[in-house]
Structure 1
Amino acid sequence: MPIIDQPEFRPTSIDDPTAHQLRLLLTLAEELHFGRAARKLYLTQPALSQQIRSLEERLGVALFHRSSRRVELTAAGSAVLPAARNVVDAADELRNIARRMASGSDRLRLGVCESFTALASTRAIIAAVRQRHPELGPDVRVLDRFSDQLAALRTGEIDAAFAHFPMPEDLHCEPLTVEPRLACIAGDDPLADRSSLRLADLAEHRVISLVSPTFRAGHDFWSVNPRPDGSQVRYAAHPGASFESLLSSVSLGTAVAFVPAVAAELYPRPDLRYLDVEDLTQCTFGIAWHPGNPMQTKSATLQSVVDAFRRNALSRTQTADRPRWAAFR
């Protein structure tokens, strides 16, 4: 594959890179495709290319290899990514602190994916905050994608998020419940008539996930990669943009998805089957927040509510005859 010649860069300006340019760098490094990155950033492709070129000139190094078919990070590009992330995170935190100080708002802002607003644990936490601390609200924001939750947490747009784990290590996580994971397959799949499966039965199926490969721990967990025998999974051509789009892709027979058991109750569809997988581990649902959140009183309040929920939920599971899933122990 021919590589388009890369010019030798020398710094042309003593100006530091802008946080905006570094944000563009991080997005392009995630997508490795100018068109997709530009659409995600609401830019034209030429504008994004010009900004990346300007950043390279400021730094004096080429950050990407560009070919006629693909874009790849150079060694220098890979080396600067951690520092670029730190700068962007610091800029986001600065903006968030200033925004909060300007607004004077102490209301608790919670994020939740639309798919799981019906979960009892989610609704119980929100209700408990409203009852015990009505001055905190809370304000609830519905976020369609896992990546949107992470971005909102890191920029301070929300104080905490309800999500299925794992979450990145820079976030504080409090588990609420555990439940099985199921295999979601097309209704006309040859395996659809089975009562249960093993992972080996799905070895030839491609996998679709909502979690970006840039968050490796989460991506591997929800695609079950590698498999117990050490084999690597094959992925669908396109990742899911939302939970609904993921289910639609599965229904068309293009992939299998591993989903929380509650999805079978929230999204029953005649073109899908949800099957137990005997050697598939459970998943955990909980709440996460950034430990760098400057509003420590809100974090302490949220922690106390979560602790109370877990005590009550554990008490219920100890007395229930057949709980569907258990509180986290």
Structure 2
Amino acid sequence: MGVSVSKEPSVHQLRLFLTLSEELHFGRAAARLFITQPALSQQIRELENRLGVRVVERTSRTLTLTEAGQVLLPEARAAVAAVDRLRRVADAQLRQVSGRLVVGTMGAEASMAHTRAVLSLLQDRHPETTVRLVNLAFGDHLAALAQQEADVVFVRPPVTDDIELHHLATEPRVACLSTGHPLAILPRLTLAQLSGVPVVDMPEQVPRLWWDFWAVDPRPDGSRVRYGPVVTDMESLLHTVAAGEAMCFLPKAAREYFPRAGIRYIDVVDLTPSTSALAWLRRRRSESTIRAIRHAAHEATNRGYSEAI
């Protein structure tokens, strides 16, 4: 193969290479990419021609990355990630210019009185703004802001340092237990009584400071929490709790919004409350659409829509 490079590789070809590097099998990679095996093979050959080096070694039985392929792999990942980031930033700028706002919510936040008040005031003050609500899984609610897939998110803090908040409401937290758990018969609980009861865990992309707060880890006596199964959304959380595999702490409003057979919500007398807030990236605070919903949140607060629940 010659050493000259006639053309730059396309982002599409780099994506194909990344998938092939994970599968190390043309058939499996092609199936995952929803293309034919010959088409994938042709694109990889074209990538190699453009790069001037072989990136995979093919035999009748195996496929491995060449030394060059191994060296180029992290660069290909970085290049694809940079293009993805560029696309997200461009989309965010397009939304700003066109007056579109993507608002993320999680759980029942979209149904809360304070959320409805903020969105109603936004539409009253800025009828030209188009709002799209998206419901986010646990692993996505802060990542959506960081990746600019959502412009603002209604969240339950804490959050990372790159995010700013406007406080909207405060409410107690409650324990969520299986009705079959021995503690479920009690009218109220203390954190000490819940010591040793496993708590559902979150996907690894969820910031630990957020789940440490919601799991109350460590407990007031310094003991660490024992974790149970990982859950990704509210339904999987409730199913896991109902099955008796673990417990969790939720906002008191869960009693109203998530009643389920096999689950009991119990007050915890020494548990600190939770807050609801509107969140946005600190560096994007002055963008027109984000500024508009920030002002709506402040007005909602001043009008008394965010009284404690």
| Distance change (3 Å), C-alpha of 1:146 and 1:241 | closer
Offset of residue 166 of structure 1: 1.0
Q: Which of residues 36, 48, 71 in structure 2 aligns to 1:57?
A: 71
Q: Residue 288 of structure 2 corresponds to which residue in structure 1?
A: 297
Contact 2:139 2:206 in 1 (8 A): no
- Note the alpha carbon deviations across 1:83-129, whole angstroms, 9 max, x for none: x7xx95x6555323333556752212211124332111111111111
- Note the alpha carbon deviations across 1:243-297, whole angstroms, 9 max, x for none: 0110110011110111111111101123111011111111111111112338711
| Distance change (3 Å), C-alpha of 1:223 and 1:55 | farther
Amino acid corresponding to residue 261 of structure 2 in structure 1: P
Q: Residue 207 of structure 2 corresponds to which residue in structure 1?
A: 215
Offset of residue 204 of structure 1: 2.2
- Tell whether 2:129 aligns with 1:115: no
Offset of residue 173 of structure 1: 1.5
| Distance change (3 Å), C-alpha of 1:102 and 1:192 | closer
Q: Residue 244 of structure 2 corresponds to which residue in structure 1?
A: 253
Q: C-alpha distance in 1, partners of 2:89/2:202?
A: 30
| Distance change (3 Å), C-alpha of 1:119 and 1:135 | same
Q: Residue 167 of structure 2 corresponds to which residue in structure 1?
A: 175
1:196-207 to structure 2, matched below 5 A, reads 196-207=188-199
Offset of residue 176 of structure 1: 0.6
- Tell whether 2:220 aligns with 1:228: yes
Contact 2:139 2:205 in 1 (8 A): no
Counterpart of 2:284 in 1: which secondary structure?
A: coil
Structure 1 gap segments, 5+ residues each: 1-14, 29-41, 61-83, 318-324
Q: C-alpha distance in 2, partners of 1:232/1:102?
A: 46
When the two structures are superposed, what TM-score results if normalisation uses the length of structure 2? 0.72
Q: Residue 143 of structure 2 corresponds to which residue in structure 1?
A: 151
Q: Which of residues 111, 115, 118 in structure 2 aligns to 1:125?
A: 118
Q: Which has the higher contact order (CA 8 A, sep 6+)?
A: 2
Structure 2 gap segments, 5+ residues each: 1-7, 23-31, 35-62
Give the structure with higher Rg (CA): 2
Counterpart of 1:127 in 2: which secondary structure?
A: helix
- Tell whether 2:241 aligns with 1:262: no
Q: C-alpha distance in 1, partners of 2:132/2:205?
A: 30
- Note the alpha carbon deviations across 1:1-24, whole angstroms, 9 max, x for none: xxxxxxxxxxxxxx9xx9x88xx8
Amino acid corresponding to residue 138 of structure 1 in structure 2: V
Q: Which of residues 299, 304, 309 in structure 2 aligns to 1:313?
A: 304
Q: C-alpha distance in 2, partners of 1:287/1:159?
A: 11
